[in-house]
Amino acid sequence: RRSHNLILSLYYLSFLDKLFGKRLLQARHFIMSRKSWLKMVPTENCDILMTFPDTIDDHTLLWLLNQIRVGIPQVSIQVRQHKHTQANAFFITTTFENLLRGAEQMGMHKNVKPQFGGGMRRFSCEEDNIYENIESELCFFTSQERQSIIKYWLDNLRAKQGEVLHNIHFLEGQPIIPELIARGVIQQMFPLHEQRILNQLMTSWVQAVCERQPLDDICDYFGVKIAMYFAWLGFYTNSMLYPAVIGFLLWMLAEADQTSQDICCVVFALFNVVWATLFLERWKRREAELAYRWGTLDTPTESLEEPRPQFRGVKRCSPITGCEEFYYPPWKRALFRWLVSLPICLLCLCFVFLAMLLCLELQEVVMEIQELPSITRFIPKILLAMTVTVCDEVYKKIAYWLNDMENYRLQSAYENNLIIKMVFFEFINSYLSLFYIGFYLKDMERLKEVTTVLFIKSNFIFKCPNVTLLNTGHRVTLLLSAILSTKLINQRIFFSCRQLGY
């Protein structure tokens, strides 16, 4: 009987292994790797980590390792393999002397000692004694600066003439690392965190209540772009408090008669015009102040931009530089844009319009059935908000695919065209229902309810990760502004439609 049970057990195990074997193995690797990474002690003497897929062969690893060691002798590399995932990785770092030379190559700005004039100046190895903390190898460069220098070297590792890796044929002078990342040879390349600084930011930034954001600490750790983003976000959140308070007071003072409502509406509109102008001017001043403090005020606005690694075309000799380059005819891009991108975008907009009509028709059906509880009237509105969100996510993937197929040479052109596609669709997707209800159906009560649902959805439910990045004081201010502004938006829409005769 025991042998019979053993045979049955083995049969079921073999059946499950055939049915779920690969998925169970992947799940086990994922769980084990997640546990191991959660318990992982940060690696010392490592600034940049470069990981590779499991399927990579030794020849590719050795080829890339040789390219980095020959082309960038300043860095030191350790090759390691993860215990559970069996993935290979390069642990890359460098010495302090090489970082000094790299800072000079990048044109990095550093603080100058007060006795030499103070302020910030472009770093020079010949005058290294004039910079603050130059005596301390640990304090002179932040972790973000160290990682930026090493990434600058890696991004500028260029191929020689006739360089080939399997089926990848490099052009002379083409950056190697971005091309390998685009081809999937390199899985990821990212800087490593410092847990000590993260704990400090968690205390002084995320968990702080009603305190200013530590923008200088954010800049030192995450860089100028991230710090400038959160500076703008905090500035905007604080500035939103003024129209929220003024609008709430006017809403409270407005009486039931049409005259007082019209007066309050005009006063609030004039206030918004003045507030918006002052907000922009104050932010320009604040932005210039932060740019000067962080050494980016005199950064050139334009520089020589490398072609995107994803850019494809036929090889030709450049008529300007005489070097070999990829060329893609502009008429092909224009043809794809007009015959493929534009019809697909219009088709998506038509789908959004039909989905909106179905949600509104569903609401009509729900309102006509008297036996249903009153709370069910919000179901079509919630469904409309979810439809808007799902359409945004789906169209985002379509927009990325269309932009990739249009094959832009420069990253700036790629991003500009992507922004045009995204903003145009999201504007129509988010506000088409409001215009339809307000100016076609002329149903003010439904407009107020839909506005409230969409506003809460866009700011708290589906985009709450952005809110959690703010500290507690800013979250409270943003929440108060949103609650007050929801009433103001409803009241302003009502006033505007009244004045237009609806």
Domain span at residue 359?
314-462
- pLDDT 10s digits, 434-469: 888 888 888 888 887 778 777 776 665 444 444 334
- pLDDT 10s digits, 481-493: 443 444 444 444 3
**What pLDDT is attached to residue 155?**
86
245 found inside a domain: no
**What pLDDT is attached to residue 299?**
58
267 found inside a domain: no
127 found inside a domain: yes
Residue 126 backbone zone (phi > 0: left; psi -120 to 50: alpha; other: beta): alpha
Residues 20 and 281: their CA atoms lie apart, in Å, by 61
**What pLDDT is attached to residue 205?**
92
Tokens encoding 63: 């080829």
**What pLDDT is attached to residue 341?**
93
- pLDDT 10s digits, 352-396: 899 888 988 888 888 888 777 877 777 888 888 888 888 888 999
Residue that finishes a domain, picked among 128, 161, 192: 192
7 found inside a domain: no
Place of tokens 């318990």: 39
Residue that finishes a domain, picked among 192, 219, 247: 192
Pairing of strands 168-169, 188-191: unpaired
- pLDDT 10s digits, 80-115: 887 777 789 999 999 999 999 999 988 888 989 999
Q: Which sign does the torsion angle of CA 62, 66, 69, 71 carry?
A: negative
**What pLDDT is attached to residue 443?**
82
- Residues of the chain short of pLDDT 70, as ranges, are 1-44, 298-304, 457-502
258 found inside a domain: no
323 found inside a domain: yes
184 found inside a domain: yes
Q: Which of 222, 190, 195, 221 is nearest to 90 (CA)?
A: 190
Q: CB–CB of 365/378 below 8 Å?
A: no
Sequence-separated (6 or more) residues with CB below 8 Å from residue 124? 104
363 found inside a domain: yes
**What pLDDT is attached to residue 276?**
93
**What pLDDT is attached to residue 483?**
39
| Overall domain count for the chain | 2
Residues 387 and 380: their CA atoms lie apart, in Å, by 10
Instruction: Please name the amino acid found at residue 62.
Output: L
Do 186 and 321 share a structural domain? no
Do 455 and 324 share a structural domain? yes
Residue that finishes a domain, picked among 137, 168, 192: 192
Residues 109 and 272: their CA atoms lie apart, in Å, by 39
